[in-house]
Amino acid sequence: MFRFIFAGAIILLFIWRIHRGFANGIMQEVVNLLSGVISLICVVLVFFAISSVAAKAMSTLAVCMVGLILLGIVFKICNLIFKPLLALGNLSVIGGLNKLMGAIMGAAEACLLSYLLYRVLDFAEIYVL
């Protein structure tokens, strides 16, 4: 029974990611992926900073703060780079290819997410296959 639920969830994940990839286009998908990765790194750095304050390790706190500032600068630079690229995606000549590549990237994201979900369920000893 759990196999069918897992398979249904994977199919819905694929449909959702391919549809969103097609709607956004590859350029917006890259921006979303990049901002998600930077956000995840920021969360990790904040947790390290909080734990270093609790452990009274000020050098680790300083490194985390510098890392957060550098990530903010990198994010702003990437934002300046991707704004013109997102505008190019609206051209009719590039638009179709942009949407097709976005759908392919959505399928690749769905593959990665389904693999990670399978590994988490396998680690929790919930057998799906």
- Given a cut of 90, whether residue 127 has pLDDT beyond it is no
pLDDT, one tens digit per residue, over 48-63 is 888 888 888 888 888 9
Q: Helix crossing, 26-54 with 2-24: angle to 10°?
A: 110
How far apart CA 14 and CA 23 sit, in angstroms, is 14
Q: What angle do CA 35, 39, 42 make, to 5 degrees?
A: 140
pLDDT, one tens digit per residue, over 87-110 is 877 777 788 888 899 999 999 999
How far apart CA 88 and CA 23 sit, in angstroms, is 15
Which of 41, 30, 21 has its CA nearest to residue 78? 30
Q: What pTM does this model have?
A: 0.73
In this predicted structure, what is the pLDDT of residue 57?
A: 84
Query: How much of the chain, in percent, has pLDDT values that exceed 70?
Result: 98
